[in-house]
Structure 1
Amino acid sequence: MSARPAIHLARAWDGPGAMVGARLLVDRVWPRGVAKDDLRLDAWLRNIAPSSGLRKWFGHDPARWDEFRDRYRAELDRNPDAVAQALDWCRRGPVTLIFGAKDRDRNQAVVLRDYLAGRL
């Protein structure tokens, strides 16, 4: 039995103490009110984030969560280069996927963590 990959999640405002391993921002846009120096990122993986159209359609509406997950997974399936880049980071050791959404349970980083874990 293999261990679950070490893929952690943190909001951009959680601070460095909440981030384990490589720090990967997985938003297409920079989180408001956060200085670039404060995140101390290892990488900003813009291309793995949901498309602007999908992000705007979702609007963090809980009623759209299930369909958002399905649509985002489909986008990830069509984006093998960005997925490969994220998987490379995950294979090197623990990572923290950093996101800017207020909702910790329903955001693209949650979907991405599960998607990547299923491919490791």
Structure 2
Amino acid sequence: MIRCKRVYEEAARDDGYRVLVDRLWPRGVAKSALVYDEWCKALAPSTELRKAFHSETIDYAAFCEAYSQELTQQPDEIARLKAIARDKTLTLLYAAKGEQHHARVLADVLRE
């Protein structure tokens, strides 16, 4: 099972393996306060793509397409997280507000 959860939500026992998938450390969160198993920057959107989306240069559909393409460049990391998700719950942690965020795209790719 793969879940997405904001870093600002409390950790739960059933979160399983918790992976922070943001390139930047979340604002207002002390490193000692966040419960996570690893920080996987390699699967975060590129800086250029993240900036284009946040500045509304591209819409969410274009972001999803471009990010999915970026993820094809990380087959080993994708395979590793898929293997974790086969054995236990995998929770992707992200800081973005709203429903349109990269963790959803990553979760979809991992479910393929």
TM above 0.5, yes or no, is yes
Aligned residue in 2 for 1:16: 11
**Counterpart Cα distance in 1 of 2:80 and 2:43:** 9
C-alpha contact 1:24 1:41 (8 A) present in aligned 2: yes
Instruction: Write the letter of the residue equivalent to 2:36.
Output: L
Instruction: Write the letter of the residue equivalent to 1:11.
Output: R
Any idea what SS the aligned residue of 1:74 has?
A: helix
C-alpha contact 1:98 1:109 (8 A) present in aligned 2: yes
Structure 2 residue 43 is the aligned partner of structure 1 residue 48: yes
**Counterpart Cα distance in 2 of 1:11 and 1:38:** 14
Alpha carbons of 1:99 and 1:19: their partners in 2 closer, same or farther (altered >3 Å)?
farther
The structural deviation recorded for 1:36 is: 1.5
Any idea what SS the aligned residue of 2:8 has?
A: coil
Aligned residue in 1 for 2:93: 98
C-alpha contact 2:14 2:89 (8 A) present in aligned 1: no
Aligned residue in 1 for 2:101: 107
Q: Which runs of 5+ in 2 are unaligned?
A: none
Instruction: Write the letter of the residue equivalent to 1:58.
Output: F
The structural deviation recorded for 1:19 is: 6.2
Q: Which runs of 5+ in 1 are unaligned?
A: 1-5
Alpha carbons of 1:49 and 1:19: their partners in 2 closer, same or farther (altered >3 Å)?
farther
**Structure 1 ranges of 4+ moved more than 6 A:** none
Any idea what SS the aligned residue of 2:64 has?
A: helix
> Alignment partner for residue 32 of structure 1, among 27, 39, 43?
27
Aligned residues: 111
Deviations 1:65-96 (A, max 9, x none): 00000000000112212212322321221011
Instruction: Write the letter of the residue equivalent to 1:30.
Output: W
Q: TM-score, normalised by structure 1?
A: 0.84
C-alpha contact 1:10 1:18 (8 A) present in aligned 2: no
C-alpha contact 2:20 2:94 (8 A) present in aligned 1: yes
**Counterpart Cα distance in 2 of 1:75 and 1:40:** 27
